Amino acid sequence: MDHVLRTCRMLHRMEAGIPELRHPLVFAGQIPVIDGVIGGVSNSTEPIQPSVLSSAATTPGKLRFVQNSGVCETTPGVNQASGYGDLTATESIWFWFFESRTNPDSAPLALWFNGGPGSSSMIGLLQELGPCRITNDSRSVTLNPFSWNNEANLLFIDQPVGVGFSHGDLKVGTSQAAAADVWTFMQIFFADPRFAKYRTNNLAIWTESYGGHYGPTFAAHFLAQNAAIDRGTVSGVKLNLKVLGVGDGLTDPLIQYPGYIQYAASNPYHALVSSSVISRANSDWSSSNGCRAQISNCYATGTNSVCSSAQSFCNNRILSPLAGNWDVYYVPTQNPDPYPPAISSYLNSIASRIGAESTWTQSNNRVYNNFASTGDWMHNSRPDLETVIKAGVRTIVYDGDADYILNFNGVEAMVDALQTQFTDLYHSQQFASFNVRGQSAGMFKNAGTFSYVRFFGAGHEVPAYKWGTLGVGEAAAQMFTQIMRNQSLSST
């Protein structure tokens, strides 16, 4: 039956003049493709079944990990640890920790989260910013000279439960529920004698893609929990949050979705679709029960069914068709772009060495479906982002100009809509060239403790790309270093 439905959809698309999608072939995808639709909503009503490993000997409220496996980080004297934080007897969160290559005891601690929802943060580790980078043949790794652990201790976390190497009951279907689990994990992490010394170090959240929801929600939850601890209504360790970084993020869908139409028609590379497809998307955006109206209704009501329907409609009618046959994560190449190289076979080959207990998959569609059923995708995370900025947390929003899936048109519109103490200052600024070793690698604005930067030539996974004669990830590393040092962005 499924193949009949797919065939009918294909014929409908052909009759409507919409290019047939090949999105299921995307290699480096963080956002699942459901029934041929990027970020689609499944029609299945099957209940989600928990994914529990009966062989795992969990230790609720504690960590289990192996130290110095020798995998990935081979810099002499730089320690690492990988394993699980057991939230409960049936919920285990996977982490991989790397010490900073310089002064680890005093260096800040940076948390990294990939998006999806349902995608593993091992993507960021091996394809983007970690101590090692996957090779083009996907069989091994090489040391990354521009790893973000040059500056900070790095903690990669697979969340929610069920994502990547994490395993257990699949209970999470909203960003807020995910935030609560991450806070609990951090309490367990800092309670362990191996990691307790980092409690007072500066803490940062860095994230991308669906991280436009995760980052603001997690950060706002951390701040709220800190305040509750101060009031005596919550017990726990306060999290010393100082930085939030959001790359190519989905934050405010109502503001960002027109960016798909704008980017598909005109971007730094080439148009993605024909003018007739653009015209049809415009109609689907602005019609009486179109995408704009449905997202607005979601914002007004917040009900699962309304928000889930908005996600289904908007991604089927706007996000997916406007991509054409170009890779949604890097539009200069046709779909599918084989870069960044796949990491699944490598991760599963070293799983036992690093303490992993399950088979790694890049994205868990059952976790994704949990989020799709609540319509979390179409919720507005901008108020949380504003809360974090207003609280004095240094915040940066960044993106790559070759990314369609969360393009700079939408992201910059969201940034322009922010209402904070820095709004007037930000709007008064002109874009400046972000130079790295004298080369213009992007354009940026600073306003107080808020910054925004658009990187040239970068796709969805910004640190995976290079520009000019710079190294892979070199420009992103300069951004990270400056922000982590509590500096505004500047050229070098």
Q: Which residue spans within 295-438 are E strands per DSSP?
A: 394-400, 432-436
Number of H helices, E strands in the chain: 16, 16
**Residues 6 or more apart whose Cβ sits within 8 Å of residue 376:** 117, 173, 174, 175, 213, 307
Please identify which of the residues 209, 320, 363, 451 carries the catalytic annotation. 209
Please identify which of the residues 69, 121, 403, 451 carries the catalytic annotation. 403
Copy the structure tokens of residue 480. 């990270």
Query: 376 near 213, Cβ under 8 Å?
Result: yes
For residues 46 and 342, what is the distance between their CA atoms, to the nearest angstrom? 30
338-373 b/e (C-beta count within 10 Å ≥ 16 → b): ebbbbbeebbeebbeebbbbbebbbbbebbbbbbbb
**Residues 6 or more apart whose Cβ sits within 8 Å of residue 395:** 243, 244, 245, 246, 385, 388, 389, 449, 450, 451
Tokens 């808020």 map to which residue? Answer: 450
Query: 379 near 251, Cβ under 8 Å?
Result: no
Copy the structure tokens of residue 368. 């994704």
Known catalytic residue: 284? no
Closest CA to 386 of 348, 426, 415: 415
For residues 332 and 267, what is the distance between their CA atoms, to the nearest angstrom? 10
Where are the alpha helices (H) located in 232-330, listed in sequence order? 253-256, 258-265, 275-286, 291-301, 304-314
The DSSP bridge partners found for residue 64 are 84
For residues 122 and 360, what is the distance between their CA atoms, to the nearest angstrom? 9
Copy the structure tokens of residue 360. 């790694």
Known catalytic residue: 3? no
Tokens 């998307």 map to which residue? Answer: 281
Where are the alpha helices (H) located in 37-174, listed in sequence order? 122-123
Copy the structure tokens of residue 49. 């079944």
Please identify which of the residues 213, 221, 379, 460 carries the catalytic annotation. 460
Known catalytic residue: 424? no
> Angle, to 10 degrees, between the axis of helix 365-374 and the axis of helix 304-314?
120
Q: Would you name the residues annotated as active-site residues?
A: 209, 403, 460
